[in-house]
Amino acid sequence: MLFRVIHKLLPRKSRTPQQAWSYKEWWNRAAGTIEQAYEATISASDENLYRSRGWHGEEDIVGAKQLIGKFSLNDKSRVLEIGCGLARIGREMAPHVAEWHGADIAPRMLEHARKRCAGVSNVFFHEIHSAENLKALGAPAFDFIYATIVLMHLDKEDLFEYLRTAFALLKTGGSAYFDTWDITHPDIFAMWRRHAVTGDAKPRGRIQCCAPAEFRVYIEESGYAITRFDTGGRLMRASCRKAGDAPPPVSNDGLPPFGYVGQPANESVVQGRLRVDGWCLDRVSEIQVIVDDQVIGTAALGRPWPGVAEMYPRYMPASTASGFEFECPVDSLPAGRHELKVVAIDDEQRSTCLTGQYRAFTIAKPSSRASAGTHGAL
């Protein structure tokens, strides 16, 4: 049923004026009347059916009943829904929690939602324009934050920013729930492909999807510890918690190391000494420097490398000392071009060639003047 709803909302490829709409305009137009708003959020023909789905959920879609039970919400819980729409879930959840807050970018959606929740004293609505506006709600402020049937309408950068902002609003020890469509499911891929819009300007409300590994990266790099990750249906569903203000460290993920080689640059000229440096993460035990397929030494580990800790906070404290360096004279190598490989090996012997497909350097021949200087004649 949700598919039929989305198909109605999707812009026809010939209707290019929609491409200029913002998120706010797109959803505001979808909520022109309460009937249109029902269809835009989850297909329902009347208020009774809408309330039933808000409590019980449907197919892959969660309702208030599932969230209250799964996350042990009670009369002391302060809850925030991002992209609340008509408060489908919030209207049913509010009587069971201390406060329910709904944030949305579409004022018409919120207008309908306020009417639906009239008389419910612990419901609060917030019109926002972006993730940045959510910060005004105060941090950390909530015991539980969720976004359901909304992330699949966001550009990936915006999805990630909403997750990061929600993490900042969540109390330490608090829980979160997020879902989005799984592009690896055949039904979802077929729907996405059928309605894909190509070109420079794309409608804001278009279908967007994630692969499971991609969705996990967005969530974990936002700081959450994932306690359960459900796939297999059209929706991926992630249950999370905030273990602390710092992101949880990365456990053994079964993947090889990754990193970057700074020096020498490809096709650079080396004189006197060869210096190799860069950074590498993920349980690194050894970095081999290989010239022309011969190991000539191993790099020293544990050096600082600016920016890595900020970029990869989940790898703390290793990311604060992720740099490596190696230096040796080039006397034993003939002049001319040489191929360089820098191979990182982890503690389970998984390896990565950090120099990628090809990295070469040239040892310059000493000039005749330099040679004369060596013998004391100028």
Amino acid at 274: L
Phi and psi for 120 in degrees, rounded to 5? -95, 110
Average pLDDT over residues 294-320: 93
- The residue with tokens 């999370």 is 240
Select the more confidently predicted residue: 217 or 22.
217
Tokens of 341: 């490989």
Phi and psi for 340 in degrees, rounded to 5? -110, 135
Q: What is the pLDDT of residues 149-192, one digit of tens each?
A: 899 988 899 999 999 999 999 999 999 999 999 999 999 999 88
DSSP string, 169-234: HEEEEEEEEEEEEBTTSHHHHHHHHHT---SS---TT----B-HHHHHHHHHHTTPEEEEEE-SSS
Tokens of 23: 């998120």
Average pLDDT over residues 334-362: 96
The predicted model scores a pTM of 0.76
- The residue with tokens 């208030």 is 64
- CA–CA distances in Å: residue 356 to residues 6, 125, 259, 268: 42, 51, 10, 16
Tokens of 86: 């008509």
pLDDT bin (cut points 50, 70, 90) of residue 377 is very low
pLDDT at 5: 39
The whole-angstrom distance between residue 151's C-alpha and the CA centroid of its chain comes to 11
Question: CA 134, CA 206: separation in Å to the nearest integer?
Answer: 23
Amino acid at 248: P
Select the more confidently predicted residue: 320 or 138.
320
Question: CA 298, CA 291: separation in Å to the nearest integer?
Answer: 12
- The residue with tokens 């278009």 is 206
